[in-house]
Amino acid sequence: MKTKSVIILSLFLMGFACDQNTSRPDHRIQVAASILPLQDFVNQIGGQEVTSFVVIPPGASPHTFELVPTMLRKINNSQILVLNGLGLEPWSARVIDTVGEEKLKVIVTSREINALATETSHHHQHGEHSHDHPESGNPHVWLDPVLAIKQVEQIAAGFASAFPAHADSFLARRDRYKARLLQLDQEIQVKVRSWSHRDFVCFHPAWEYFAHRYGLNQAAVITDRPGMEPSPARMAHVIETLNRTGAKAVFSEPQFSESLLRAIAEEANVSVVQLDPLGTTLENGGYIELMQYNVAKIESALK
Ligand SMILES: [Zn+2]
């Protein structure tokens, strides 16, 4: 009884507060970002001028995500939509069609990045394509801090052109954040030099850009397309690769079930180490903390 009346009272107060605010006192720019790392970039660049939300909820995989109508409405009320591109957000075309590009500024952060081809473009299994877009390469560019800088630059340029009154603040924040990302890159370079192993196997090709940047080798992936079960032939290939390369670990991800990886790891007698490409396991940290977390995990397997 008591709790009920408290709830009703607070609902009443909330309603009252909303009535007072019909003129929308929040003048901040509303920005939708597709994934958590991009939302952090948005906040780093936007500062107090921006309020942001993430489209793909923590714990969901972009590769299997479907947009619900409430989220479409939320994006509809935003001024800017920040995307990764490279086929990571197949739902975005419909959103842009529905909302209209004159109402919603779209920033595709991978625009200036030369994408790596995905595994499937080498061995085509009857029309099966990684990440839906036949023309696109591997979308996981944000996991290389140097490419992340290019994404940050796109966001800053997009914000500055959409809201020129705040351009100076956006560009100043961009420069400060770029310096921190370069420092992160240096930090990782120093660490990697002391690792004795270079080869790893991971669940899907998330760590390809990271490997490319730091001289590591993604020896095999369990699936090119999350949501699709790997064939027995693929499983056998992964186990053979683990044995041949002497890779120390299989990297899993919180977005996908570990049971398959456990079976493979057991067969090849290596450990399973969970990495987090999206920031799902981090409560309050941003992109830099996410990368430091991942690097520490990778180091535990490869050092
Ligand atoms: Zn992915």
What percentage of the chain carries pLDDT values higher than 70? 86
**Which class does domain 27-111+131-174 fall in?**
alpha beta
**Which class does domain 194-302 fall in?**
alpha beta
pLDDT tens digits, one per residue of 15-38? 444 444 444 557 899 999 999 999
| SS3 of the chain | CHHHHHHHHHHHHHHHHHHHCCCCCCCCEEEEECCHHHHHHHHHHHHHHEEEEECCCCCCCCCCCCCCHHHHHHHHCCCEEEECCCCCCCCHHHHHHHHCCCCCEEEECCCCCCCCCCHHHCCCCCCCCCCCCCCCCCCCHHHCHHHHHHHHHHHHHHHHHHCHHHHHHHHHHHHHHHHHHHHHHHHHHHHHHCCCCCEEEECCHHHHHHHHHHCCEEEEECCCCCCCCCCHHHHHHHHHHHHHHCCCEEEECCCCCCHHHHHHHHHHCCEEEECCCCCCCCCCCCHHHHHHHHHHHHHHHHC
pTM of the model: 0.86
CA of 172 to the centre of ligand 1 (A): 31
- Residue 70 banded pLDDT, cuts 50, 70, 90: very high
CA of 186 to the centre of ligand 1 (A): 25
> What pLDDT is attached to residue 71?
94
Q: What residues are neighbours of ligand 1 (ion), with CB under 5 Å?
A: 206
CA of 198 to the centre of ligand 1 (A): 21
Domain ranges of the chain: 27-111+131-174, 194-302
- Residue 131 banded pLDDT, cuts 50, 70, 90: very low
CA of 260 to the centre of ligand 1 (A): 17
- Higher-pLDDT residue of 234, 20: 234
Shared fold status for 27-111+131-174 and 194-302: yes
